[in-house]
A and B are shown apart, each in its own frame.
Chain A
């Protein structure tokens, strides 16, 4: 293939139909409270890890919901599992278990 001195830019649009939604299904089945998330970001604001490193639990939820699960494993390992996010969640989501279920799902669908 020819080299013209540039590469064709990859689309950064989320193409919902091309993505894998099994992880999300697994998490929702095993931690149904996750369904009620309204993306308020309370969890992210209080997150012990997120205050020091590039880790955003609200965005993690978005990635999972859009099926953008590439790189999720690396991201999820940043969580310190302290449980502070559970305390602030206005929708009573067991966020700590959400993380554990994501880890489990990653193993399962690897």
Chain B
């Protein structure tokens, strides 16, 4: 594979990302399944980078899952999004950061719609005014949260406590990246590096010492698909997509998977457990599975944050083998304690997927 060829494409897909003063739009899934991610994001932006970021308790879900599952109408989701713009406007911000790839896809789709159909925008303004009395400005800059981490990847590298390097061998960690369909497949120009050879996660991995592995099914969807996993009988179809990816990446022996999208992180992680239970298969050499991290969790490890504060114990595939490779210090006995030090109890253990005890 020729790196110059990829660089040529990356040059074509540069994206303007605001430098400071952000309004933060959280994700539903991430707050539930990877609760440390957004916490780490805010900590990195505020404490490490000294940025001004507004974390607003008044915003709601974007209703994206409902929209993609056909229970929320486009008119409704546009008005919900308009309300979020109104909250941003009221707080005096112009740059929006969106934590979820599904939301990011929806926001870009809506803004694109308004650009081509000003009448729709006019109507949405009326709907919002009628329903809430609010008015809004369209953000000057919209970025996905990973775009921000990407933008400041060298600043993070400069403060790194650990690097994405195998302590024992001195080799870079082999990392699979997965950007999620709605980050740039709908609008390649809005994604760092475009859709075919996205650079947003690869840029972070490179800056922090790791090595990206590019495998044949890299571009394949994780299988989330909204209504596919929502209906239990359809979940086998969702799993099969992730399985296709695992089979394709397995020969490269990846040390971890880093994901951009909440849905992908959830399914690349949880379906490994499901497949191990249904077929007895795991996708690393030793039966532990391949750890799946969000980019903030990865950044947090690099910055030396406590893995349990990052919430890595909340994942299905446990990350101790990765922590050992990176040389990250951690206390096994604190794994199942909350922030105040109270013991939370151990979760049930999987049958086939190995877990460090």
User: What residues of chain A lie closer than 8 Å to B237, measured between beta carbons?
Assistant: 9
Give residues 87-132 of B contacting A (CB, 8 Å). none
Which residue of the partner chain, among B235, B240, B244, B351, contacts A4 with CB atoms under 8 Å?
A: B235
Contact check, A2 vs B233: say whether CB atoms are below 8 A apart: no
**Residue A18 at the chain B interface, CB threshold 8 Å:** no
**Residue A8 at the chain B interface, CB threshold 8 Å:** yes
In whole angstroms, what is the CA distance A31 to B141 when docked? 66
Contact check, A4 vs B278: say whether CB atoms are below 8 A apart: yes
**Residue A54 at the chain B interface, CB threshold 8 Å:** no
Which residue of the partner chain, among A1, A6, A10, A11, contacts B233 with CB atoms under 8 Å?
A: A6
In whole angstroms, what is the CA distance A1 to B276 when docked? 9
Contact check, A8 vs B277: say whether CB atoms are below 8 A apart: no
In whole angstroms, what is the CA distance A1 to B278 when docked? 5
Give residues 232-263 of B contacting A (CB, 8 Å). 232-237, 239-240, 243-244
**Residue A71 at the chain B interface, CB threshold 8 Å:** no
**Residue B279 at the chain A interface, CB threshold 8 Å:** yes
In whole angstroms, what is the CA distance A1 to B275 when docked? 10
Contact check, B232 vs A5: say whether CB atoms are below 8 A apart: yes
Report, as a range, how many residues of chain A touch the other chain. 10 to 19
In whole angstroms, what is the CA distance A11 to B239 when docked? 11
Contact check, B278 vs A8: say whether CB atoms are below 8 A apart: yes
Contact check, B239 vs A9: say whether CB atoms are below 8 A apart: yes
User: What residues of chain A lie closer than 8 Å to B234, measured between beta carbons?
Assistant: 6
The prevalent SS among residues of B at the interface is helix
Which residue of the partner chain, among A2, A5, A9, contacts B277 with CB atoms under 8 Å?
A: A2
**Which of A2, A7, A8 counts the most B-chain CB atoms under 10 A from its CB?**
A8
Contact check, B232 vs A8: say whether CB atoms are below 8 A apart: no
Contact check, B244 vs A1: say whether CB atoms are below 8 A apart: no
Contact check, A6 vs B235: say whether CB atoms are below 8 A apart: yes
User: What residues of chain B lie closer than 8 Å to A8, measured between beta carbons?
Assistant: 236, 239-240, 243, 275, 278-279
1/0 contact trace for B262-302 toward A, CB 8 Å?
00000000000011011110000000000000000000000
Give residues 1-28 of A contacting B (CB, 8 Å). 1-2, 4-11
How many residue pairs between the two chains, A and B, have CB atoms under 8 Å in the bound complex? Answer: 35
Contact check, B279 vs A1: say whether CB atoms are below 8 A apart: yes
User: What residues of chain B lie closer than 8 Å to A1, measured between beta carbons?
Assistant: 277-280
**Which of B239, B244, B275 counts the most A-chain CB atoms under 10 A from its CB?**
B239
In whole angstroms, what is the CA distance A42 to B243 when docked? 40
CB distance from A106 to the nearest CB of B (A): 31
CB distance from A8 to the nearest CB of B (A): 5
CB distance from A43 to the nearest CB of B (A): 35
In whole angstroms, what is the CA distance A5 to B274 when docked? 12
CB distance from A78 to the nearest CB of B (A): 31
CB distance from B268 to the nearest CB of A (A): 15
Contact check, B351 vs A2: say whether CB atoms are below 8 A apart: yes
Contact check, A6 vs B277: say whether CB atoms are below 8 A apart: no
In whole angstroms, what is the CA distance A9 to B234 when docked? 9
In whole angstroms, what is the CA distance A5 to B277 when docked? 12
CB distance from A55 to the nearest CB of B (A): 30
CB distance from A100 to the nearest CB of B (A): 39
Contact check, B277 vs A4: say whether CB atoms are below 8 A apart: yes
User: What residues of chain A lie closer than 8 Å to B236, measured between beta carbons?
Assistant: 6-9
Given A9-B239, A11-B240, verify A4-B233 contact (CB < 8 Å): no
In whole angstroms, what is the CA distance A8 to B236 when docked? 4
Contact check, B240 vs A5: say whether CB atoms are below 8 A apart: no
In whole angstroms, what is the CA distance A4 to B351 when docked? 14
In whole angstroms, what is the CA distance A10 to B277 when docked? 17
In whole angstroms, what is the CA distance A9 to B274 when docked? 13
Q: Could you give 19 example pairs across A and B, Cβ below 8 Å?
A: A1-B277, A1-B279, A1-B280, A2-B278, A2-B351, A4-B235, A4-B274, A4-B277, A4-B278, A5-B233, A6-B232, A6-B234, A6-B236, A7-B236, A8-B236, A8-B243, A8-B275, A9-B237, A10-B240
Besides A8-B275, A8-B278, A9-B236, 11 other CB < 8 A contacts? A1-B278, A1-B280, A2-B278, A4-B277, A4-B278, A6-B234, A6-B235, A6-B239, A7-B236, A8-B279, A11-B244
> Which residues in B have some Cβ–Cβ distance to A below 8 Å?
232-237, 239-240, 243-244, 274-275, 277-280, 351
> Which residues in A have some Cβ–Cβ distance to B below 8 Å?
1-2, 4-11
Q: 6 closest pairs, A vs B, by CB?
A: A2-B277, A9-B240, A6-B236, A9-B237, A6-B235, A9-B236
